[in-house]
Amino acid sequence: MSPSGRRERPREPSLDPCGRRSSETIALPGRGTLQLLQCSRVSSPFVEILPRMRARDLSLFTLKETPAEAELVSHRLMLRAGLIRSLSQGLYTWLPLGLRTLRRVERVVREEMDRSGAQELLMPAIQPAELWQESGRWDKYGPELLRLRDRHDRPYCFGPTHEEVITDLARRELRSYRQLPVAWYQIQTKFRDEIRPRFGVMRAREFLMKDAYSFHRDETSLADGYEKIFAAYSRIFTRLGLDFRAVRADTGSIGGRSSHEFHVLAQAGEDLLALSDSGPYAANVELAEALSVLPGRAPPTQPLTRVPTPGIRSCEDLARHLGIPLEKTLKTLVFVRETSAGPRLALLLLRGDHTLNEVKRAKVPGLEEARYATEEEIRRELGAGPGSLGPLGVDLQRVLVVADRTAAAVSDFAVGANEDGYHDTGVNWGRDLPEPTVADLRTVVDGDPSPDGRGRLRLQRGIEVGHVFQLGTQYSERMNATFRDEDGSERVFWMGCYGIGVSRIVAAAVEQNHDERGIVWPAAMAPFDVALAPVSSQSDTGVRRAAESLYDELRSRGYEVLYDDRELRAGVMFADLDLIGIPHRIVLSPRLLAADKLEYVARRGSASRELRRDELFRLLEDDRRRDPAL
RNA sequence: CGGGGCAUGGCGCAGGCUGGUAGCGCGCCUGCUUUGGGAGCAGGAGGUCGGGGGUUCGAAUCCCUCUGCCCCGACCA
């Protein structure tokens, strides 16, 4: 057949465009005809409009070369496989192939949310400013909130989240404890004007999110609802085939009580997680509890000595200069806190090899609103500059001294002398200076003892794909959202909120499932289940006919099949299908056909196998049964 | 917002310092050959070199300015 005949290649008259022997055709007034198919996946007569699953009818925009803008593997592969295209900073178009995957993620999320008892609804993306002013977030949220004005000059925002709208709905519609508890969710486009969007849809400004909110009569019911959603999330990420962990999380700006994040483990992750190597403990390092790494404090053995240390500023320099281990030095960080008597300094002491955790600092009583001191403030109070600061001899009436648990357990340590160019060595708490206030101040490091006493903490990177919060009553109180309780009293709702980054999941999945040839989709979110690849189909009618018939058979067995009818060279076709990452590939060729065989190869790994038709169907069936997602 | 970089056919890049008629690979179109891992040969189309201003006989190249995008830090699904 001549290449020019490609476009108008006549279809087999006995086959419809789906490869079926016959199909029903109905006429639509003024709009041509529609072909209807019987779908045997469902037992009741079920008709569906012909889906576009032939490669020639699908906009497959694969790229041989990587666009220069993409840094991260998932971003590169999503562009190359033709899942997404960028429109502008942090804004992406989902191409037909990518949208299929996005929809499959949505489907799993919907099914599990529904199963948990939550009900789907859909709220406006644009929200009036008044609601945000009522909750107090109009001023608090900052530049991340995209603010708009309509033609009447009334202020609105494009919703980055929907606590206000849902609370407003609840206070209007929920009046009695009899209507509680209730959980509502939606899957919707959100916009957050991120400081720095990056990594494709991983951190886009516009993204697809599943957000859920629950309303309860009391704290117990809230804890109960939280558990249910937590379980639903675990099922969702399991079904999606992701390697994930739920970790304790900081409640951050949203506030509230208990909170967990769900992370997909991946090197490219932006979060650091602390996971116990032999127990259940798992937390974001932002709040992972740091125990003292020392068994106890050893008794003093050295005399307090002041030594000259010209030009020494860091603990590393100090340790090298004095020839002592870094673990025998303490660093002093100076903060300013507001007190009733005016601004006062606070010294935070950490062991030389440890770093301050700002989230923890903000939880120390008296230091919630503290800030780093300026050099001028430090000199005025301590008489020396950064590099030579320490806790010795400070006026404890004026200065608060807080030591990290480990720092408080060090003996015979070296620390700044509050005299430029000098440090003290052989310093001991209790002997040379008063015992400090002790707090958990530092960020955990790999190998720290696990806070639950079981094993050691290992640090791993994760991509946050879900977050669950027990909000409590802050929104309901601010927005006066109340119901009538059993005893006739008026009470505010106890609320929970729960998010899943639907579009981010796609990127996270690619990050976790790829090889040098392209994406290797987990079954549940693959854009197609099976790729059908006929070789030499342009010259061999038999191959084409067999492909059409197999395509038909697979579809009738409920598989979503990408039939590659592009009549490309085998190498090009295989490279494309590998890049796209469809789990199962079936090859047809004249040689195979003559032997009455098909070639099967799984995208994930193993070598190809030559099978008979019935063997192939059994293999696919077994695979489907093994995978809980399908 | 601070720091760094980039902008040249659809994609990936060279050219720029030293101004003088814009080039390579891939892709695309046509024809012939080829046909199981990104084919070969021949022919062809496609670029106001991100926008504006300036210097110059002459600017992709030098100067000014604006815009967009990417990377590194403070945010979050």
CB A171 within 8 A of CB A481: yes
> In sequence order, which residues have a C-beta less than 8 Å from that of residue A258 and are 6 or more positions away?
A223, A226, A469, A470
> pLDDT tens-digit profile of A353-394?
998 988 888 888 888 888 888 888 888 888 888 888 999 989
What is the ipTM for the molecules in this complex?
0.93
Res. A35: pLDDT tops 50: no
Res. A3: pLDDT tops 50: no
Which pLDDT does position A2 carry in this prediction? 38
Nucleic acid strand B within 7 Å of A255 CB: no
Res. A504: pLDDT tops 50: yes
**CA(A129)–C1'(B75) in Å?**
22
Across the beta sheet with A146-149, the strand order is A126-128, A155-158, A146-149
Position of tokens 């010795």? A392
Residues 449-508 of A with CB under 7 A from strand B: 464-467, 499-501, 503-504
CA distances from A532 to A285, A421, A423, A614, A630 (A): 46, 75, 74, 16, 20
Q: How confident is the model at residue A52 (pLDDT cuts 50, 70, 90)?
A: low
Residues 139-158 of A with CB under 7 A from strand B: 144
Q: How confident is the model at residue A536 (pLDDT cuts 50, 70, 90)?
A: confident
Q: How confident is the model at residue A254 (pLDDT cuts 50, 70, 90)?
A: low
Q: Where are the alpha helices (DSSP H) in A240-365?
A: 315-322, 358-361
Res. A50: pLDDT tops 80: no
Q: How confident is the model at residue A256 (pLDDT cuts 50, 70, 90)?
A: low
> pTM of the predicted model, to two decimals?
0.88
> pLDDT tens-digit profile of A392-401?
989 888 999 9
**CA(A88)–C1'(B22) in Å?**
29
What dihedral angle (degrees, nearest 10) is formed by the CA atoms of A589, A594, A595, A596? 80
Bases on strand B under 7 Å from any protein CB: 1, 11-13, 25-27, 30-32, 34-39, 68-77
**Mean confidence (pLDDT) of chain A:** 88
CA of A588: nucleotide with nearest C1': B36
Residues 565-604 of A with CB under 7 A from strand B: 569-572, 574-576, 578-579, 587-589, 591-592, 599, 601
Which pLDDT does position A301 carry in this prediction? 96
Nearest to A439 by CA among A335, A284, A304, A299: A335
CA of A498: nucleotide with nearest C1': B77
